[in-house]
Structure 1
Amino acid sequence: MLRNIDPLLSPSLLHALRAMGHGDEIVIADANFPGTSTGPECIRADGSTASEVLRAVLSVMPLDTFVTDPALTMQVVGDPDAIPEAVADFQDIIDATADNPAKVQGLERFAFYERAATAFAIVQTGERRLYGNIILKKGVIG
């Protein structure tokens, strides 16, 4: 155990977050997301929700301030303006936890999958709410 480190941050996840550089992206995905087959390393966090993992990740990782979209979610198929419960929760967590809060932006489903395929890593959670997926772009610690 480490002091002041959220216990949801497993050794594998801490390693990935530390190894990421400015501009690298990490996906926090729900239980339905094709985490293993998408491509990047898939870190399992089955006993946690995406919201819990998001809060833990933002406790140690800054969001990028050099882009307008450091937090991306998957748009609802057929209703891109809808805001699912999980996405509303993500925005509340970012507003309360991130050192540089940003407005969550949406990506079309297949564009989200393509973006996720280029991420540094995917954290597959046990999140059961639909559209409980978010991509975060790592920022710089000044």
Structure 2
Amino acid sequence: MLRSKLIHPKILEVLGRCGHHAKILIADGNYPASSTLGPNAELVSLNLMPGLPTVNQVLEAVASAITIDIANTMDYERTGQYALTEDPPVWKDFQKTLDSEGLKIKLQPIEKWAFYEAVRTPDHVLTIQTADQQRFANLLLSVGVRMD
């Protein structure tokens, strides 16, 4: 029986094949996951019901299983119907989770349309679709190197 936080068989399978620089997207419930997959990526749909699970819950499980070098958020819009006037509150939760795993990285926003392009690359190996309803809760992780 597994004892780690992450126990999802398909996610563990894909993470086990990852190498340095592989990209993992943890997508919120509004993200167009099926139409933005990279050519080598698999999609795992965890969207159980509105709000469950959240991106941060999935981040906690994934961060317990792999080394992460980079954590990119989708930068938020500052004009239009989805605009925000400050960083989304969920970004503080992401940073707290990364910190609690001992990862010394800071969130790095990528402009919305550039974020979609970053996900469509050949090194994107996995999208985990959540049902998170918070705006701009998408998180693109780059796998690091295990040093121990």
Tell me, yes or no, whether TM beats 0.5.
yes
Contact 1:75 1:81 in 2 (8 A): no
Aligned-residue CA RMSD in angstroms? 1.7
The TM-score with structure 2 as length reference comes to: 0.84
The alpha-carbon distance between structure 1 residues 129 and 26, as it changes in their structure 2 partners (threshold 3 A), is same
Contact 1:29 1:50 in 2 (8 A): yes
Identify the match of residue 88 of structure 2 among 84, 100, 104.
Answer: 84
> Residue type of the partner of 1:84?
P
> Residue type of the partner of 2:120?
A
Distance (whole Å) between structure 2 residues aligned to residue 111 and residue 61 of structure 1: 25
**Residue 80 of structure 1: how far off its partner (Å):** 8.5
Contact 1:75 1:82 in 2 (8 A): no
Aligned to 1:67: none
**Structure 2 residue ranges without an equivalent (≥5):** none
**Residue 3 of structure 1: how far off its partner (Å):** 2.9
How many residue pairs are counted as aligned between the two chains?
Answer: 134
Aligned to 2:8: 10
**Residue 37 of structure 1: how far off its partner (Å):** 1.1
Aligned to 1:46: 47
Over the matched positions of the two proteins, sequence identity in percent amounts to: 32
Q: 4+ residue stretches of structure 1 with deviation over 2 A?
A: 79-82
**Residue 6 of structure 1: how far off its partner (Å):** 2.0
